[in-house]
Every structure is written in structure tokens, then in C-alpha cells.
């Protein structure tokens, strides 16, 4: 019988779920704060259920000689050393969807409080000032709510806002037209959202693509008197730029639940006018805390008793016999997905993955999951091999796989095709005998390229002199080229350059490349290799 330690406070109902599934459970909610005691007893357990108080450090993992799964009742896993757990073969789970309604309700609450200046009016009234004329509010009825990030939480916010008779528009590159129609929102690009929205609510992960998405430049495009709500992630909003906009009167107000640095004790927004600040309360309701506790108990029990893996943040288990064969192709698939994901800017409707040769005879499910993970991660950030297929399905993306015998020159061949509103884009690769992944085809153009951490992708007009101009510019910018790979379908048409670099490109360097005559698209690519 598997044995689980609950080292933080979970409800009795959650503890009973373990027992009902046949799991032996010890409920010791104070052990998480006692490092020595935790180190002493952790070796007895197959599973560890935690909230935020228990810190699962390298020392704890080393002492956990029997541990198979760590379950976090909640989203954040900063208190778990995931790389060390992964290296030891321990599955780390969280419960990312248990607080969706709570977070969405908090955003709506913040919006309404902002519209009617509730906190400031409350403070004024308690001070016996009775400043009725000072706190003139606005209605939300018939106003335009712009949602940046229309996934699980964003779609709930949209539903609640429609109940308030608001017009909802949304910016989300992965939102398909069909999904937008289903949830009753109008899909727009970011500039149009900024231009039209009376209220803007953020519900997107923090990634390189979304960092400071509300910048000084973005604020300049907003309506005068617009209001911003952020209950998603600190770092999505440039806090200094937001303060300047509030002080100048460009924006009428802001409601902020998350901050760049937390705990937020000396934040520039604290002195800004018309700001509501809360201490990261998005998930703080009794219902949400109970939901995530019940979910983590179900997930851990299913894994320990049946082998089912749900919401794992590291690689799902692969048998010892499969691992040597699968691992190189899992890596290749994630690279192919990441390549396509970094070049994709519009909604994805279909993902096609083709397996040819010996790889087609393997267990391709984890390979497919890796490809979808790589594809979604550039924009969605917190995506893993277990959650990616579910997220793709929820967003209306159809995933199709095909397996066939070897037909070309390569013993193993994997091709990923992404179908978007603008058309199709494909990228193919293989694994050579050295176990290293190689790109062998981009957009139907054959070219062989090694994958390195920093790369540059260019689509250009196939005209004389282009390579010389590009090489000269990179030299002038002190950018060293490791490898230069070229390909084209037909003379005089579009050509592709895929360049391995010794260092990442800066924004200014990329803009200089984009300005070269003949460049149609230039993208810097990064890979964790």
C-alpha cells in the first residue's frame, strides 16, 4: 500500500480521498515548517502533499529515498526543487485550474470597485469627510472590456462581463475564431484592443512575448480615461509607465493584484492616484483552497494506485526500456514545436505531426505531447507535456498524427505542420546516430541545420547581394556566425536563411536585420539545448 505524507494544512475531506483510494496517509500539517523532522521521516513515503509552507529542497529530495510524487495544492511550485526531483524520477504535480473561478471573480470585483472608486470612497467616509461629489463613478454597462489572454480564466471573466452587459473584445494569438464565437467575444489584435477598450483586464502568463505588454507605448495607444486591471502576473505591466499615465490623467485608474516584486512593500504604484492594490488575493477564497486540496488528493491517488499522471510539471514517466529510444525524439519534437511556436503569431486551428521510419514504431504519445508543448510554450509559458494536449483541445486546436514506413533518405523523420489563419507552416527534423536532433526541412525547403541555443531565421527575396549585406551587417554588429544554412524552392522566389549564432541578438540588432532590403521576416530563435 503506497504511503503519503500531508505536511501542510489540507482539509479532512482531502485527506479522506487518499484513504478512499486505498492510500495510507499521515496527516502532519506542522511537519512542513520543521525541516529536521521532515528530513527524518520523508524516506518512509511514496507521496508528499504540500501547500506553500513546506520547502522541498535538494536535501529533502536526497532523503526521500522512496518518493515517487510531490503534489502541490495550488499553482506555484517555487518551494519545490523541480530539476532535482526530475533527476530523481519524482513526478511534480500542481492544480492549475482549481482557482480559475476565484481569480476571475477577483478581476471582476476589482473592475467594479475601480469604476465606482469604492476603496477611496470608503476611506473618505470613515474619515467623516462625506465627499459625495468627489467620487463620481462610471457604469460598466455597454462599456468595452478588453481581455488580454482568453484562456481558462479569461473566458470566465468574459462570461461574467457579458452578464454585466459589457461588450467584450479579446486579444489572444491562440484564440481560434470558432472558440471566440463559442464564448461570445470579438477577437481583435492588440492595437485595436488598446484603442477601443474602456477597461483592460490581463489574463495571460508572463513570457518573453508578454513581459511589459502594457508598456508606455501601449498606454499611449489607449483611450484617454481607460482603466487597467491586472490579476494575472507581475511583470505584465510596466509599473513606472502605469504610474506616469495615472499621474498625467491619461488613465483614469488601475486595479493591481500582482506586482513585479512580491511581497510588494515599496512599489511605485502605492503613491499613484486612483489605484486599488491587493496582496495577490486572486486565489484566496475558501472554495478555491478546498478545490485545489481535493484535486491534489485525487491526482496523487490516481498516480500512486493506477499510474495516471495529471498536471505534471516535469516529464511524465517513461519505462526504462523505452527511455533510451524515446528521449532523443522527445527532444527533437519539442525543438520542432518551439521552432514553429516562435514563428507563429496568429490562432492555431490544427497541428499535424508525421512520423516516418523507425520512429513510427515507437510509443509516439510522449513525442506528440513534447511537440505540442514546444509549440505552445513561447506564448503560454507554463505548459508541460501533460497539460499541453489538454490546453490545445480547450483552445480548439485539432491535433492529428500519422505514422508510416520509411519513404525518404532518412531512417527517422518527424514533420510538424501548424495550420493558422494565415496558412500552413511546416518544419521537419531527424535524429542522427550521435543522438543529436537536426532540422532538415523548413516550409518545404530542404536544408540541414544543427540546433543551438541562439539562432536567427530569415525569409528573404532570393536576389544577388543579400547574403553579403547580411554578413556585413552581422560583422558590423559584432555578431559571430557559427553556421550559415541556406535553402530555396525556386530561383528568384523566397529563400530561407537559418543561422547559428554564438550569442543572442539584441532588439536593436534584430531591427537592423529587418531593415535590410529584401527581408520579409526575421526572427531570433532560442532553444534550451
Q: Which residues are catalytic?
A: 233, 262, 280
d(CA 183, CA 192): 19
Q: Which of 371, 392, 335 is nearest to 152 (CA)?
A: 392
- Neighbour tally for 480: CB within 10 Å: 10
* Grid cell at residue 33: 515548517
Contact between 274 and 43 under an 8 Å Cβ cutoff? The reply is no
CA 481 to chain centre: 31
Grid cell, residue 268, equals 511605485
Which stretch of DSSP H or E encloses residue 216? helix 216-220
Contact 168, 185 (CB under 8 A): yes
Full DSSP string of 277-306: E-SS-TT-SHHHHHHHHHHHHHHHHHHHHH
Contact 70, 45 (CB under 8 A): no
Residue 115 falls in which region: left (phi positive, over 0), alpha (psi -120 to 50) or beta: alpha
Question: For residues 390 and 310, what is the distance between their CA atoms, to the nearest angstrom?
Answer: 10
List the 91-93 sheet strands across, edge first: 24-27, 3-6, 47-50, 69-72, 91-93
Instruction: Measure Cα distances from 235 to 30, 64, 423 in Å.
Output: 33, 35, 32
Amino acid at each position: 500500500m503506497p504511503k503519503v505524507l500531508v505536511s501542510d494544512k489540507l482539509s479532512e475531506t482531502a485527506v479522506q480521498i487518499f484513504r478512499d483510494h486505498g492510500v495510507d496517509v499521515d496527516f502532519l500539517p506542522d511537519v512542513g515548517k520543521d525541516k529536521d523532522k521532515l528530513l527524518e521521516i520523508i524516506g518512509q513515503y511514496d507521496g508528499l502533499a504540500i501547500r506553500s509552507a513546506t520547502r522541498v529542497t535538494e536535501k529533502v529530495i536526497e532523503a526521500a529515498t522512496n518518493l515517487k510524487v510531490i503534489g502541490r495544492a495550488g499553482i506555484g511550485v517555487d518551494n519545490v526543487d523541480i530539476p532535482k526531483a526530475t533527476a530523481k524520477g519524482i513526478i511534480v504535480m500542481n492544480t492549475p485550474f482549481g482557482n480559475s473561478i476565484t481569480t476571475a471573480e477577483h478581476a471582476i470585483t476589482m473592475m467594479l470597485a475601480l469604476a465606482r472608486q469604492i476603496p477611496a470612497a470608503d476611506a473618505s467616509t470613515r474619515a467623516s469627510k462625506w465627499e459625495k461629489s468627489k467620487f463620481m463613478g462610471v457604469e460598466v454597462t455597454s462599456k468595452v472590456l478588453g481581455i488580454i489572454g482568453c484562456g481558462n480564466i479569461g473566458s470566465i471573466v468574459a462570461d461574467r462581463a457579458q452578464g454585466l452587459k459589457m461588450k467584450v473584445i479579446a486579444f489572444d494569438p491562440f484564440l481560434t475564431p470558432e472558440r471566440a464565437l463559442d464564448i461570445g467575444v470579438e477577437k481583435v489584435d492588440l492595437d485595436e484592443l488598446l484603442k477601443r477598450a474602456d477597461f483592460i483586464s490581463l489574463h495571460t502568463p508572463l513570457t518573453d512575448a508578454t513581459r511589459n505588454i502594457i508598456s508606455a507605448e501601449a498606454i499611449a495607444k489607449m483611450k484617454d480615461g481607460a482603466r487597467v486591471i491586472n490579476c494575472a502576473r507581475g511583470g505584465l505591466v510596466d509599473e513606472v509607465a502605469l504610474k506616469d499615465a495615472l499621474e498625467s490623467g491619461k488613465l483614469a485608474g488601475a486595479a493591481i493584484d500582482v506586482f513585479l516584486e512580491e511581497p510588494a512593500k515599496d512599489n511605485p504604484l502605492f503613491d499613484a492616484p486612483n489605484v486599488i492594490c491587493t496582496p495577490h488575493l486572486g486565489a484566496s477564497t475558501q472554495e478555491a483552497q478546498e478545490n485545489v486540496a481535493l484535486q491534489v488528493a485525487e491526482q496523487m491517488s490516481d498516480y500512486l494506485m493506477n499510474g495516471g499522471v495529471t498536471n505534471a510539471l516535469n516529464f511524465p514517466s517513461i519505462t526504462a526500456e523505452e527511455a533510451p529510444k524515446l528521449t532523443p525524439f522527445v527532444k527533437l519534437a519539442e525543438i520542432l514545436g518551439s521552432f514553429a511556436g516562435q514563428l507563429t503569431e496568429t490562432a492555431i486551428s490544427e497541428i499535424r505531426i508525421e512520423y516516418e521510419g523507425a520512429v513510427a514504431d515507437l510509443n509516439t504519445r510522449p513525442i506528440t505531447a513534447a511537440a505540442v508543448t514546444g509549440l505552445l510554450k513561447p506564448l503560454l509559458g507554463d505548459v508541460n507535456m501533460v497539460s499541453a494536449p489538454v490546453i490545445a483541445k480547450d483552445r480548439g486546436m485539432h491535433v492529428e498524427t500519422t505514422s508510416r514506413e520509411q519513404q525518404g533518405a532518412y531512417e527517422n523523420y518527424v514533420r510538424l505542420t501548424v495550420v493558422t489563419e494565415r496558412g500552413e507552416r511546416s518544419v521537419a527534423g531527424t535524429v542522427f546516430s550521435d543522438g543529436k536532433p537536426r532540422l532538415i526541412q523548413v516550409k518545404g525547403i530542404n536544408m540541414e541545420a544543427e540546433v543551438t541555443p541562439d539562432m536567427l531565421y530569415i525569409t528573404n527575396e532570393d536576389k544577388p547581394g543579400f547574403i553579403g549585406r547580411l554578413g556585413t551587417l552581422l560583422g558590423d554588429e559584432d555578431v559571430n556566425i557559427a553556421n550559415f544554412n541556406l535553402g530555396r524552392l525556386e530561383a528568384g522566389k523566397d529563400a530561407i536563411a537559418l543561422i547559428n549564432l554564438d550569442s543572442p541578438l539584441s532588439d536593436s540588432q534584430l531591427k537592423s536585420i529587418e531593415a535590410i532590403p529584401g527581408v520579409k521576416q526575421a526572427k531570433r530563435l532560442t532553444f534550451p539545448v
